[in-house]
């Protein structure tokens, strides 16, 4: 008799089976089938009934208390930022100069200051002009700066202001958290209710291997860290998310590989500790059912994985290296999130389908009322936008009909997605290059979906984890610029478009403006955006994916000579021999080639 057969005979005698059964029952009662400990250590028994459907958020959301006053932090000059003039921006009002009027968006709507700065006022603290004799700030030896450490020290000084769930962002080599799915030590999917809020937001700046770092990029990145993280007492944490593409050897195979990859990036030492690397294989390993992982289609995949592995951030701003805040970046982002928090859920999406143009419709109240009239007091989105593939996690609306709700619901609640440009209906957008690109959905291309380009957004952990789960377990996919907005709507999560000021290269250009306006909300049959999708080209906007104007503005601001066929940007105003630009967010500001 072989040993195996002998063993089987022993195991299947009743004397053994009965005690084993008792032990099993005992463990089952103590740990429960829902216990993660049980699930991970007794893998044969993981197929226990799951709770019916996902856990939904409560309808009556209670806003968290405001955070206590911000405690000053040390800046790159080793001084408290509250007492260091050399670190300060000089935002000024210009007497006798009329503030420019946006093409769309509004200073009043997002409560943004109408200030001006010269390029030196703006980037001087971060090293702009430091090689000139006239540089009259104290110089910083940037190579000795560690922005990761400065941010963590700032958070520590402010730790008492945050819930205990908030933790510093330890990004030393020993703490690399991203890794392939087949060796992961964290649950593959996680849901919103597993986490307590930390009141912290990560600002994820996208970079890639081979990026040509210029002085202007470094100054921009420094400004982002000081203004968003250090000046807010750690409410934001700036992280550089670096795409290593197909780098060999595998960066997650060993610490040595990861370190080697990091050192080969050409990334200045000051930013080493804020860099988080990922590569193509990471995405393929987590999302095998999604054939396309390239940035154009799936720019959120690395952000989803970042959120899964770094759940200590309630929200994640995804920003690009070719963005510029011509005013204080931290104040700008605060204004965006404040607006989104105050906005009611009712018609927030419908408002995001139109552009507020002050010269066409007046202030935000008039715009708000016009969208309400176009929707006859109701709403297209009321609770989740139902599709067969998604079990919503967002709350039930407080009334059955939107008509019966008085714009109170959701006020005070942080948005799950803040978009930075107007949203569009994929069904209407015939010329949209990604129109047919959708997969895994039962209704295919008839699935209602909305895109709000560019992929510069703030998304909540709640939303990112939901997208992650849908991609991982069901292979659901929509193109990048439709991902956060559509998933938020399907789940019934809060979406907001704070209408920040955007300018057009010609100061008075009624014809082009009409082309975008299309009669506004009053001319919309369904109240969900203009009837027609077609619009003029956006090459001369300050915030538009294909625009060339931001580069020209910055060049003129720096006093560079512009090409002969390029008109002087009217936004750059000269006073007392200095060049000023207004306060705004610009994208994209391309490098020279």
| Nearer to ligand NAG (CB atom), residue 487 or residue 580 | 580
> Residue 534 contacts by C-beta under 8 Å, 6 or more apart in sequence?
431
CB of 285 vs ligand NAG, minimal distance in Å: 5
545-549, Cβ contacts within 8 angstroms, sequence gap of 24 or more: 545/453, 545/454, 545/587, 545/588, 547/587, 547/588, 548/590, 549/505
CB of 407 vs ligand NAG, minimal distance in Å: 27
| Nearer to ligand NAG (CB atom), residue 461 or residue 468 | 468
User: Does 209 participate in binding ligand NAG (rule CB under 6 A)?
Assistant: no
User: Does 285 participate in binding ligand NAG (rule CB under 6 A)?
Assistant: yes
Chain position whose Cβ is nearest to ligand NAG: 519
CB of 532 vs ligand NAG, minimal distance in Å: 5
Give first-to-last CA distance, the chain, whole Å: 78
Q: Do residues 329 and 583 touch, judged by C-beta distance below 8 A? A: no
CB of 375 vs ligand NAG, minimal distance in Å: 16
- The strand pairing partners of 198, in sequence order, are none
User: Does 435 participate in binding ligand NAG (rule CB under 6 A)?
Assistant: no
User: Does 281 participate in binding ligand NAG (rule CB under 6 A)?
Assistant: yes
CB of 118 vs ligand NAG, minimal distance in Å: 7
| Nearer to ligand NAG (CB atom), residue 406 or residue 511 | 511
Cis peptide leading into 564, omega within 30 of 0?
A: no
| Nearer to ligand NAG (CB atom), residue 36 or residue 85 | 85
Alpha-carbon distance of 555 to 557, in angstroms, equals: 5
- Could you say which residues in the range 489-518 bind ligand NAG, by CB under 6 A? 518
CB of 516 vs ligand NAG, minimal distance in Å: 10
CB of 329 vs ligand NAG, minimal distance in Å: 21
| Nearer to ligand NAG (CB atom), residue 2 or residue 134 | 134
User: Does 288 participate in binding ligand NAG (rule CB under 6 A)?
Assistant: no
175-183, 202-210, 464-472, 543-551 -> range binding ligand NAG (CB under 6 A): 175-183
Q: Do residues 212 and 591 touch, judged by C-beta distance below 8 A? A: yes
- Backbone dihedral angles phi then psi of residue 170, each to the nearest 5 degrees: -80, 110
Give the one residue of 531, 546, 562, 568 binding ligand NAG; rule: CB under 6 A.
Answer: 531
Give the one residue of 3, 183, 431, 563 binding ligand NAG; rule: CB under 6 A.
Answer: 183
95-103, 177-185, 426-434, 582-590 -> range binding ligand NAG (CB under 6 A): 177-185
Alpha-carbon distance of 96 to 351, in angstroms, equals: 35
Q: Do residues 61 and 412 touch, judged by C-beta distance below 8 A? A: yes
Number of amino acids touching ligand NAG (CB under 6 A): 13
- Could you say which residues in the range 120-149 bind ligand NAG, by CB under 6 A? 120, 134, 136
CB of 376 vs ligand NAG, minimal distance in Å: 17
| Nearer to ligand NAG (CB atom), residue 174 or residue 182 | 182
Region class of 168: left (phi > 0), else alpha (psi between -120 and 50), else beta: beta
- The strand pairing partners of 101, in sequence order, are none
Alpha-carbon distance of 564 to 377, in angstroms, equals: 52
> Residue 577 contacts by C-beta under 8 Å, 6 or more apart in sequence?
none
> Residue 101 contacts by C-beta under 8 Å, 6 or more apart in sequence?
358, 359
| Nearer to ligand NAG (CB atom), residue 43 or residue 134 | 134
Give the one residue of 28, 42, 180, 195 binding ligand NAG; rule: CB under 6 A.
Answer: 180
C-alpha angle 195/201/202, rounded to 5°?
A: 105
CB of 388 vs ligand NAG, minimal distance in Å: 31
User: Does 55 participate in binding ligand NAG (rule CB under 6 A)?
Assistant: no
Map residue 215 onto helix, strand or coil: helix
| Nearer to ligand NAG (CB atom), residue 136 or residue 189 | 136
CB of 301 vs ligand NAG, minimal distance in Å: 15
Instruction: Give all strands of the β-sheet with 116-117 in edge-to-edge order.
Output: 116-117, 578-582, 573-575
| Nearer to ligand NAG (CB atom), residue 2 or residue 182 | 182
Which DSSP string corresponds to 268-325? -GGGGGGEEEE-HHHHHHH-TT-S--SHHHHTTHHHHHHHHH-TT-SEEEEEETT-EE
Map residue 371 onto helix, strand or coil: helix
User: Does 523 participate in binding ligand NAG (rule CB under 6 A)?
Assistant: yes
**Where does this chain bind ligand NAG (CB under 6 A)?**
120, 134, 136, 180, 182-183, 281, 285, 518-519, 523, 531-532
């Amino acid at each position: 008799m072989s040993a195996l057969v002998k063993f089987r005979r022993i195991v299947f005698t009743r004397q053994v089976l009965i005690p084993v059964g008792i032990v099993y029952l005992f463990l089952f009662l103590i740990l429960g089938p829902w216990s993660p400990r049980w699930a991970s250590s007794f893998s044969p028994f993981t197929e226990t009934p799951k709770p019916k459907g996902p856990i939904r958020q409560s309808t009556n959301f209670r806003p968290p208390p405001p955070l206590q006053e911000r405690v000053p932090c040390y800046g790159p000059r080793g001084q408290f930022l509250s007492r260091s003039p050399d670190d300060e921006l000089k935002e000024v009002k210009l007497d006798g100069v009329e503030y420019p009027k946006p093409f769309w968006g509004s200073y009043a709507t997002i409560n943004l200051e109408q200030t001006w700065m010269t390029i030196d006022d703006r980037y001087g603290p971060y090293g702009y002009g430091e090689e000139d004799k006239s540089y009259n700030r104290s110089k910083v030896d940037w190579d000795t700066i560690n922005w990761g450490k400065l941010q963590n020290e700032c958070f520590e000084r402010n730790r008492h202001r945050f819930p205990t769930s908030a933790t510093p962002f330890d990004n030393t080599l020993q703490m690399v958290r991203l890794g392939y799915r087949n060796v992961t030590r964290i649950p593959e999917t996680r849901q919103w209710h597993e986490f307590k809020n930390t009141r912290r937001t990560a600002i994820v700046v996208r970079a890639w291997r081979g990026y040509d770092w210029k002085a202007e990029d470094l100054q921009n990145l420094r400004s982002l860290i000081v203004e968003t993280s250090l000046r807010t007492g750690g409410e934001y944490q700036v992280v550089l998310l670096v795409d290593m593409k197909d780098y060999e050897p595998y960066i997650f195979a060993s610490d040595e590989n990861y370190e080697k990859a990091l050192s080969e990036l050409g990334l200045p030492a000051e930013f080493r500790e804020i860099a988080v690397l990922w590569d193509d294989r990471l995405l393929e390993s987590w999302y095998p059912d999604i054939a396309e992982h390239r940035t154009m289609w799936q720019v959120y995949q690395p952000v989803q994985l970042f959120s899964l592995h770094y759940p200590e951030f309630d929200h994640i701003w995804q920003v690009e290296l070719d963005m510029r805040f011509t005013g204080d970046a931290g104040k700008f982002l605060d204004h965006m999130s404040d607006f989104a928090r105050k906005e009611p859920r009712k018609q927030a999406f419908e408002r995001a389908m139109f552009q507020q143009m002050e010269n066409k419709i007046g202030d935000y109240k008039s715009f708000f009322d016009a969208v309400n009239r176009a929707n006859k007091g109701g709403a297209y989105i009321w609770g989740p936008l139902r599709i067969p593939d998604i079990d919503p996690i967002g709350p039930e609306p407080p009334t059955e009909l939107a008509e019966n709700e008085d714009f109170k619901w959701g006020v005070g609640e942080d948005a799950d997605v803040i978009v930075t440009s107007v949203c569009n209906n994929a069904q209407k957008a015939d010329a949209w290059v990604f129109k047919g690109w959708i997969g895994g959905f039962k209704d295919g291309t008839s699935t209602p979906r909305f895109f709000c380009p560019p992929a510069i957004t703030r998304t909540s952990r709640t939303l990112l984890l939901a997208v992650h789960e849908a991609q991982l377990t069901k292979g659901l996919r929509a193109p990048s610029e439709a991902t956060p907005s559509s998933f938020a709507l399907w789940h019934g999560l809060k979406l907001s478009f704070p209408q920040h000021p955007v300018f057009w290269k010609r100061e008075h250009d009624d014809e082009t403006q009409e082309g975008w306006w299309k009669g506004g909300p009053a001319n919309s049959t369904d109240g969900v955006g203009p009837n027609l999708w077609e619009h003029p080209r956006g090459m001369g906007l300050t915030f538009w994916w294909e625009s060339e104007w931001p580069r020209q503005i910055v060049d003129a601001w720096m006093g560079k000579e512009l090409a002969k066929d390029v008109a002087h940007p009217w936004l750059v105003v000269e006073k007392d021999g200095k060049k000023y630009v207004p306060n705004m967010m610009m994208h994209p500001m391309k490098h020279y080639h």
